[in-house]
Structure 1
Amino acid sequence: MAFPEQIDDPPLKHLFDVSEGAGLEQEGVIRLTAGAPGPSLLQACSEVFKQAWARTLEKCNDVNVFQYGIAAGSWEFREELSKFLTESYGESVRRSDLILTCGATHGLQIILNTLLAPGGMIFVENATYMIALDVFKEFPSSSIESVELDANGIDPEDFEKKIMQWKNAKNWITSEEKPFWAMLYCIPAFQNPTGTSLSHTRCLRLIELARKHDVLILCDDVYNLLAHNNPPRRLFAYDRPDVYTFGGHVISNGTFSKILTPGVRIGWLEVPPRIAERLRKSGILRSSGSVNHFMSAVVTSIMEMGLQKQHLELLRSTFKERMLSLMEVLGENLPKSCTFHRSEGGYYIWLELPEGTDAADFCNFSAEHFKATAYAGKYFSKSKTSCMRLAVAYHVKDDLKKAAELICKALHAYLK
Structure 2
Amino acid sequence: MYEFTAPFQNPSGSPIRELFKYLGEPGMISFAGGYPASDLFDVDGLQQAAARAYQDPNCCLQYGPTDGLPRLKHELTNLMAHRGVPCALNEMLVTTGSQQGLDLLLRVLVSPGDVVLTEQPAYPATLQALKLQQARVVTVPVDAHGLDVDRLATLLASGTFARPKLLYTVPTFANPTGATITRERRIALLRLAVQYRFLIVEDDPYGDLRFSGDAVPSIISLAAEVEGSRDWVVHFASLSKIVAPGLRVGWTIAPAEITRRCVIAKQTVDLCSAPWTQAIAAEYLSDGALERHLPRITAMYGRKCEALCEALRSQFGDTLQFHRPEGGMFVWARIEGIDASALLQRAIDNKVMFVPGKAFFADRLDPASLRLSFAAPGIADIEEGAKRLRRAYDMAAADSV
Mapped partners of 2:268, 2:20: distance in 1: 39
Residue in structure 2 matched with residue 80 of structure 1 by the alignment:
75
Residue in structure 2 matched with residue 128 of structure 1 by the alignment:
122
Q: Normalised by the size of structure 2, how large is the TM-score?
A: 0.86
Which of 49-58 and 186-195 deviates more?
Answer: 49-58
Q: Deviations over 1:43-98 (max 9, x none)?
A: x42x22321121112234xx4554443332222111111223333x3x24325232
Q: How does 1:104-253 map to 2 (within 5 A)?
A: 104-140=98-134, 142-164=135-157, 169=161, 181-229=164-212, 231-240=215-224, 244-253=227-236
Counterpart among 238, 249, 258 of residue 241 in structure 2: 258
RMSD: 2.7
Q: Structure 1 pair 414/114, CA: closer, same or farther in 2 (3 Å)?
A: same
Residue in structure 2 matched with residue 284 of structure 1 by the alignment:
266
Q: Deviations over 1:370-406 (max 9, x none)?
A: 4323111111114121111101122111101211232
Whether the 8 Å contact between 1:220 and 1:253 is mirrored in structure 2 is: yes
Whether the 8 Å contact between 2:31 and 2:374 is mirrored in structure 1 is: yes
* 1:399 maps onto 2:392 in alignment: no
Mapped partners of 1:287, 1:272: distance in 2: 21
Q: Normalised by the size of structure 1, how large is the TM-score?
A: 0.83
Counterpart among 338, 353, 356 of residue 357 in structure 1: 338
User: Is the partner of 2:23 in helix, strand or coil?
Assistant: coil
Whether the 8 Å contact between 1:70 and 1:286 is mirrored in structure 2 is: no
Q: Deviations over 1:6-42 (max 9, x none)?
A: xxxxxxxxx9xx8537332515332210111244234
Whether the 8 Å contact between 2:220 and 2:230 is mirrored in structure 1 is: no
* 1:294 maps onto 2:291 in alignment: no
Q: Structure 1 pair 227/169, CA: closer, same or farther in 2 (3 Å)?
A: closer
Q: Which runs of 5+ in 2 are unaligned?
A: 4-13
User: Is the partner of 1:401 in helix, strand or coil?
Assistant: helix
Q: How does 1:349-388 map to 2 (within 5 A)?
A: 349-354=331-336, 357-368=338-349, 370-381=350-361, 382=363, 383-388=365-370
Q: Structure 1 pair 82/169, CA: closer, same or farther in 2 (3 Å)?
A: closer
Q: Which runs of 5+ in 1 are unaligned?
A: 4-14, 173-180
User: Is the partner of 1:131 in helix, strand or coil?
Assistant: helix
User: Is the partner of 1:119 in helix, strand or coil?
Assistant: coil
Whether the 8 Å contact between 2:193 and 2:229 is mirrored in structure 1 is: no
Counterpart among 304, 318, 324 of residue 336 in structure 1: 318
Whether the 8 Å contact between 1:184 and 1:218 is mirrored in structure 2 is: yes
Q: Deviations over 1:272-301 (max 9, x none)?
A: 345344445x24348855322332111101
* 1:304 maps onto 2:298 in alignment: no
Q: For 1:151, give the aligned amino acid.
A: A
Whether the 8 Å contact between 1:82 and 1:94 is mirrored in structure 2 is: yes
Over the matched positions of the two proteins, sequence identity in percent amounts to 24
Mapped partners of 2:281, 2:130: distance in 1: 30
Whether the 8 Å contact between 2:324 and 2:331 is mirrored in structure 1 is: yes
User: Is the partner of 2:168 in helix, strand or coil?
Assistant: strand
Mapped partners of 2:20, 2:241: distance in 1: 25
CA drift of 1:117 comes to: 4.5
Whether the 8 Å contact between 2:116 and 2:167 is mirrored in structure 1 is: yes
CA drift of 1:113 comes to: 0.8
Q: Structure 1 pair 66/337, CA: closer, same or farther in 2 (3 Å)?
A: closer
Mapped partners of 2:397, 2:268: distance in 1: 56
CA drift of 1:130 comes to: 1.2
Whether the 8 Å contact between 1:248 and 1:275 is mirrored in structure 2 is: no
Whether the 8 Å contact between 1:351 and 1:387 is mirrored in structure 2 is: yes
User: Is the partner of 2:371 in helix, strand or coil?
Assistant: strand
Residue in structure 2 matched with residue 22 of structure 1 by the alignment:
21
Counterpart among 49, 55, 59 of residue 58 in structure 1: 55
User: Is the partner of 1:22 in helix, strand or coil?
Assistant: helix
Q: Structure 1 pair 37/300, CA: closer, same or farther in 2 (3 Å)?
A: same
Whether the 8 Å contact between 1:236 and 1:252 is mirrored in structure 2 is: yes
Q: For 1:93, give the aligned amino acid.
A: P
Residue in structure 2 matched with residue 6 of structure 1 by the alignment:
none
Whether the 8 Å contact between 2:346 and 2:393 is mirrored in structure 1 is: no
Q: Structure 1 pair 404/294, CA: closer, same or farther in 2 (3 Å)?
A: same
Q: For 1:154, give the aligned amino acid.
A: L
Q: Structure 1 pair 56/362, CA: closer, same or farther in 2 (3 Å)?
A: same
Residue in structure 1 matched with residue 10 of structure 2 by the alignment:
none
CA drift of 1:236 comes to: 1.1
Q: Structure 1 pair 25/41, CA: closer, same or farther in 2 (3 Å)?
A: farther
